[in-house]
Amino acid sequence: MRLRNKPRAVGEIADNPQSITTTPADFKGKWQTKFAETQPLNVEIGSGKGRFIIEMAKAYPKQNFIGIELQPSVAIMILEKQLLEKLPNLYLIQANGENLTDYFATDEVANLYLNFSDPWPKKRHAKRRLTHKIFLAMYEQVLQPEGKVTFKTDNRGLFEFSLMSFNAYGAQFEQLSLDLHNSPEITDNIETEYEQRFSQMGHPIYLAKIQFVGAK
């Protein structure tokens, strides 16, 4: 994502701890204190400009949502939308989403969302892909036993790698689509900004929803 640096971002983020934090480890095991009600906690890793996480929070008011975004100049876009919306079931993290087990306690998260993650196409960078087994182990730890990971991408190479990674890890496939926008059986899809753009360009959107079945 190429964006201009926004000098005000760091200060504005620091000024709004009621909506966003840069020190998520401080709230490990205590995230429900950030919301108006104690409800199932859903986390998106890499929220971009925030369309998905905001629309999810609106669509499911009986669930809580956390959006994680690394770049301050991007996170501020979500923050400014939230300051207008004031959704009681949405909170934001400006930090590296790769450190998930530092931020969330075992079984603290109900569902995880990976939307259009960096594909890291070079073979030597495979361990950086958010569907590598290193990250799957983290997701399994923070997710509740019935929790699910929903993964969307327009990158065929990343999707194929992810399917092999999920399968090798022993995950159970709950949902699978090679062309999400032409899958009428999937009726609850909320699009991201990237998804809308890629779909308009004629790219098929790939989806996999998985659940971990092994004992912790």
* Cβ neighbours around 107 below 10 Å, total: 14
Q: Compute the distance between CA of residue 147 and CA of residue 190 in angstroms, rounded to an integer.
A: 19
Contact 12, 76 (CB under 8 A): yes
Instruction: Return d(Cα 143, Cα 112) in angstroms, integer.
Output: 8
Catalytic option among 15, 102, 118, 179: 118
Active site residue 15: no
Residue among 107, 155, 105, 104 at smallest CA distance from 130: 155
Q: Enter the tokens of residue 83.
A: 């300051």
Taking the C-alpha atoms of residue 142 and residue 41, their distance in angstroms, rounded to an integer, is: 11
Residues designated catalytic: 118
